Structure 1
Amino acid sequence: MNQARTNRRIIRRETHSSRAGLSAVTAVLLLAACLWLGTESILSLLGRLPLVASPQQLAALARDLPKAVLPAGLVATGAAFAAVGAALLLAAVTGGQRGRRPMASERSALVVDDEAIAAAISRRVRLAANLAPEQVATTVTRNRALVRVRPTSGITLDPNVLASAATDEVAALRLRKALSPHVRIATEGAVGR
């Protein structure tokens, strides 16, 4: 196996979460239901008393259900089952994203955590604006980094300088996927420093 392929596999494993837990829970629930129905069927064939309800009782219950339950209840139950099915299908099709991003490197698989990216951007903007650490906060989402700056009261900040500092830091990180920084300067300032 060549190095580039190995690096891609490592990066994929580190940036996407496994669906094994959800699959196992779903399989255990379906297996329990099938085992229960199988046990009820075998007990019915042997002429023994059912654990909960015999297949004949279950069939009668399903046949009489529309008469016994209000239509709104049936619609709500059907919608709940459809929502669970859609959620399971969506979880199966989409990969779970972790808060990590790959960095560009030819020699090795480099992955950086979103919190580390946010801290680096905050530090760079804070140094450019000469602010205290608590006056700059960064949140990294899927495609952008939102930098919230609370200036010191009475001091105006140049948004272009702060945006340039954030852009330079993102470029220095050499992320494989572009991350666009957005700087928002609060209208209320912090008292003193």
Structure 2
Amino acid sequence: MNRARNINRIIRRETHSTRTGLSVLTAVLLLAACLWLGTESVLPLLGQPALLASPGRIAALAAGLPQAVLPAALAAAGTVLALAGAGLLLAAATGGRRGRRAMSSNRAALVVDDEAIAAAVSRQVRLAANLAPEQVATTITRRRALVTVRQTSGITLDPAALTAAAAEEVAALGLRKTLPVQVRVTAEGAVGR
């Protein structure tokens, strides 16, 4: 395989999470149900009493269910089962995402954590505005970096300058995909330092 393909595969592995836990849980639940039904089917052949209910009793209960249970309860149970199935299908179709991003490099697979990006952006905005560390908070979402700044009471900040400082820091990181920056200066101020 060529080097670029290996790098892309490693980056994909590091930035996306698997659905192993959900798959194992679903498989264990299905296996337990199949084992129980298999055991219930074999016990009458051996002349033993059923553990919970014999297959004939289960079939009779299932056949009499519409008359024994309110239609609203059946509809609610069907809705819950349908939502669980849709959730499993959605989890299978969409890949999980870890809080990491790939950096540009031709020589190696470089991945940086979203928390490290947030700390770097917060530091740069804090230095540009001459603020205390607790006055700047950055959150990295799937599509952008959201910077929240609490200005010092009596001092107005220029959001455009802070946005430029944050965007410059993100650009300096050399991420493969651009990460837009949004800076929000809150109306409430903090006591000066």
Q: What is the TM-score of this pair, normalised by structure 2?
A: 0.97
Partner of 1:14: 14
**In structure 1, C-alpha distance between the alignment counterparts of 2:176 and 2:44, rounded to whole Å:** 62
**In structure 2, C-alpha distance between the alignment counterparts of 1:188 and 1:37, rounded to whole Å:** 63
- How far did 1:44 drift? 2.1
**In structure 1, C-alpha distance between the alignment counterparts of 2:45 and 2:79, rounded to whole Å:** 35
Partner of 1:91: 91
Partner of 2:167: 167
* Alignment RMSD: 0.9
- How far did 1:90 drift? 0.9
**In structure 2, C-alpha distance between the alignment counterparts of 1:57 and 1:159, rounded to whole Å:** 71
Q: Deviations over 1:104-124 (max 9, x none)?
A: 111110000000000111111
Partner of 1:80: 80
SS in structure 1 at match of 2:21: helix
- How far did 1:176 drift? 1.2
- How far did 1:47 drift? 3.1
Q: Deviations over 1:103-151 (max 9, x none)?
A: 1111110000000000111111111111111111100000111101111
**In structure 1, C-alpha distance between the alignment counterparts of 2:132 and 2:91, rounded to whole Å:** 42
**In structure 1, C-alpha distance between the alignment counterparts of 2:150 and 2:52, rounded to whole Å:** 64
- How far did 1:51 drift? 0.9
Q: Unpaired segments of 5 or more residues in structure 2?
A: none
Q: What is the TM-score of this pair, normalised by structure 1?
A: 0.97
- How far did 1:48 drift? 2.3
- How far did 1:46 drift? 3.0
**In structure 2, C-alpha distance between the alignment counterparts of 1:24 and 1:83, rounded to whole Å:** 19
SS in structure 2 at match of 1:150: strand
Partner of 2:137: 137
Partner of 1:148: 148
Taking only the aligned residue pairs, the percentage that are identical comes to 72
Partner of 1:40: 40
Q: Deviations over 1:126-182 (max 9, x none)?
A: 111111111111000001111011111111111111111011111111111221100
2:28 paired with 1:28: yes
- How far did 1:20 drift? 1.2
**In structure 1, C-alpha distance between the alignment counterparts of 2:163 and 2:85, rounded to whole Å:** 44
